[in-house]
Amino acid sequence: MRQSKVADVLSGAKVVFLKCGFEGASVDAIAEEAKVSKATLYAHSPSKNMLFLSVVQAECDRLSAEISRPLSGDHAPRAVLEELSRRMIRLVLDDDYIRLLRTCIGAVAVLPEAGEIYMDAGPRRATRIVGQVLQGLHKAGSLKVQDAQSAASQFIHLSVSGVIMPRLLAVDQPIDASEHSKRAVDAFLGIYSAGNTLA
Supply the pLDDT for residue 199.
Answer: 38
Supply the pLDDT for residue 94.
Answer: 92
Comparing CA positions, the residue from 55, 44, 134, 160 lying closest to residue 99 is 55
Supply the pLDDT for residue 197.
Answer: 46
Supply the pLDDT for residue 76.
Answer: 85
Supply the pLDDT for residue 198.
Answer: 42
Supply the pLDDT for residue 195.
Answer: 67
Supply the pLDDT for residue 70.
Answer: 84
Architecture of domain 52-198: Orthogonal Bundle (1.10)
Comparing CA positions, the residue from 149, 147, 134, 160 lying closest to residue 81 is 134
Supply the pLDDT for residue 23.
Answer: 95
Supply the pLDDT for residue 196.
Answer: 46
The amino acid present at 131, given as its one-letter code, is G
| Whole-structure pTM value | 0.87
Residue range 1-46 forms a domain whose CATH class is: mainly alpha
Burial class of residue 72, CB neighbours in 10 A (0-12, 13-18, 19+) = exposed
- pLDDT, tens digit only, all 199 positions of the chain: 566 788 889 999 999 999 999 999 999 999 999 999 888 888 888 899 999 999 999 999 988 888 888 887 667 889 999 999 999 999 999 999 999 999 999 999 999 999 999 999 999 999 999 999 999 999 999 999 999 999 999 999 999 999 999 999 999 888 999 999 999 999 999 999 976 444 3
Distance CA 82, CA 78 (A): 6
Q: What residues does each domain of the chain span? A: 1-46, 52-198
Distance CA 121, CA 101 (A): 12
